[in-house]
Amino acid sequence: MTTNDITEADAANELMRLAKQIARANRLYHAEDAPEITDAEYDALVRRNTELEEAFPHLIRADSPSQQVGHEIASSPLSKVTHEVRMMSLDNAFSDEEVAEFVARVRRFLSLAEEEPVVFTAEDKIDGLSCSLRYEEGKLVMAATRGDGQVGENVTANVAHIADIPQQLPEGVPELFEVRGEVYMEKQAFAALNAAQEEAGGKLFANPRNAAAGSLRQKDAKVTKARPLRFWAHGWGAASDVPGDTQSEVVEQLRTWGFPISPAFRLCADVGEMLAAYRAIGEGRKGLPYEIDGVVYKVDRLDWQKRLGFVAKAPRWALAHKFPAERAETTVQSIDIQVGRTGKLTPVGRLAPVLVGGVTVTNVTLHNRDEIARLGVRPGDRVVIQRAGDVIPQVVENLTRDEDRPAFVFPDHCPECGSEAVAEEGEVDVRCTGGLICPAQRTERLKHFVSRGALDIEGLGEKTIDQFFAEGWLESPADIFRLRQRREAILALEGWQEKSVDNLLAAIDTKRSPEGDHEAHDYNKSNGVSPDRLLFGLGIRHVGQVTSRDLLKSYGTLTALRDKMLEIGKRRDAKEHELNIGIGYPETPEQRKIASKIANELATILDVSGVGPEVTMSLLAFFHEPKNNELFDELIDEISPRPMEATTVKSSVSGKTVVFTGKLETMSRDEAKAQAERLGAKAAGTVSAKTDLVVAGPGAGSKLKKAAELGIKVINEAEWAEIVAAAG
């Protein structure tokens, strides 16, 4: 979806998802040296985030990836180091046009006359781990990784074993000088390390960059000593004096001090020379003993660098021009379907092993059924794959698609649990509808079921769910309410005492019913759980807390809602038979058009304000699966939800849309939203023209600014409390 087609609310939601995805990718790449997505996929996420932020600047989040460098070091055996001068990252370019625009931007910012020359440096971008070396009076006193740019890890003892790093600089150097560069591992050394690791039964590294990072970030410097690490310098940080007026002069000085620098380092007088350097370096890439993934350009004059300064996490005076992914040919031996924790079915091609960019590749992501259809890929096909430091590369071309061979049939049932697998309207991903009954999803779904917004069972957190699941005690939500039968077995587990076990079982029992089942459980002092929380806890796709409340306000009980969905399901089945298409699994554009029309008709039958075809089809998919109905019946046998609370509509905010922003000091955000709904208002997450009132606490940011722009009334938390009190 382009930024022209997206609503502000959807943009805010997508930015939230991107922030989480990119933060996870950064943590795995920078902090754990275990990336799970490709460089190209990561770059695509970052570019999409940039597009949305440029289109909606008021929606830029405090945790936006555009404001972050690397990843915060949450836990590490190494001590932390605060950088005196922040270690920045670089903006990326992927085309000649973007490089030309970078040069034009520099000229515009500096207000240079057309005839004024601008010289840039160019050097290959080695795929290594950023490291800062602090020298005082010529002696190395501290070495640190980049970390999140502000705080890194102390690796001083480790770099002592890297021959390229001088421990003492020549006389005449500045009193304080931080040399910055990359720690890396050459391809041959990487292959030998992985061979030794495999023979010893140890961890294999995905690529030389991960091997270098894992080797440097060791608590025991002896491990680092045994690994053949290299270093080259490309810049500097804190300095009492800078030995030169240009980037090239200082880099040359680093070379005379004994630091290796890029052998490709050169000066470029214009865009043409920059692009020529890029192509020359790229052509020689395969013959290099180390991995590179692009070329870095920097404005040569340091006074101009100072004027240009920085934006967010990167300097305005530098740019990384990335290489396209490396490619190779191989054969697809088979196609497996993996089921993720959210139920997504992902096809993975198993390949005849092939070496790409120094890494042996045996798996390739095929993304989804549409991508398989687009490529026409089948077992036995010869394909071109590409990677750029990737863990799981991708297919870019099928060389044998015209050969006479049966097409791959994407499954319409989950390979893990046998439940129906469907693709929702407008989506290409196929998902298992099994949810809580699917082994691939079960633990994550159970954790959601007991989470704060759902049943909120005190003492039953993620670790306990994992522990009980491993024991074979939790297969479905109903099993939670049978744990009392396992009291003695729980007591036998490490870390459990009588008090903690009894507290947990009592917390579970408080959710059974509003009155309590005194005959069976005289210890029960329950007030039950509301049916909307129970519905939300089932983890049905697109059925959030607000939607759950809307549905239960209309139908009253979960059983009534289920009965309605079964009725609607019969209508859907009749339509499928009549039209001879799978409405939950349309394959052609025409079938998808018909399925969309039917989904709208079914949503009309459900007849709940604010609930459209997307939610209707999710509910339908869930209750159309017999195993889910069995799970539902088992759960209702164990738990009796309390009646839905009536909404009090006699308030000044009845029928209005309220947004809470900033830090609430007297209540949680969930409590505030519940108050709004009890008063007959709708609690929204984003500010728009439809918003009637904004309640702002300390630290309110973009939402408060947006409210001011739209002229929306803003009150503080105390004023909101007065509205709540006045309603009684």
Q: What is the DSSP letter of 58?
A: G
- Catalytic site includes residue 298: no
Instruction: Match 């000593």 to its residue by tokens.
Output: 225
CA trace torsion 382, 384, 390, 391 (10° rounding): -10
Distance CA 623, CA 558 (A): 12
Distance CA 537, CA 33 (A): 34
> Which candidate in 125, 322, 564, 673 is catalytic?
125
Closest by Cα among 271, 289, 313 to 147 = 313
Task: Give the three-state DSSP class for 563.
Answer: helix
SS (H, E, C) 226-248: CCCCEEEEEEEEEECCCCCCEHH
Distance CA 298, CA 566 (A): 64
Distances (CA, A) of 174 to 138, 143, 171, 238, 295: 7, 17, 9, 11, 29
Q: Of how many residues is the chain composed?
A: 728
Backbone angles phi, psi at 14, to 5 degrees: -65, -40
**Apex CA 625: angle with CA 619 and CA 627, to 5°?**
125
Residues whose CB is less than 8 angstroms from the CB of residue 290 and which lie 6 or more positions away in sequence, other chains included: 126, 127, 184, 185, 186, 187, 208, 230
Distance CA 364, CA 357 (A): 15
Dig out the tokens for 381 from the structure.
């096909």
Backbone angles phi, psi at 469, to 5 degrees: -65, -40
Amino acid identity, position 613:
P
Distances (CA, A) of 603 to 141, 570, 616: 68, 14, 6
DSSP 446-489: HHHHTSTTTT--TT--HHHHHHHHHTT--SSHHHHTTGGGGHHH
Q: Are 669 and 688 in contact (CB under 8 A)?
A: no
Residues paired with 684 in a beta bridge: 659
Alpha-carbon dihedral sign for residues 284, 287, 289, 293: positive
Dig out the tokens for 467 from the structure.
């522990």
Dig out the tokens for 584 from the structure.
């939950």
Residue positions annotated with a catalytic role = 125
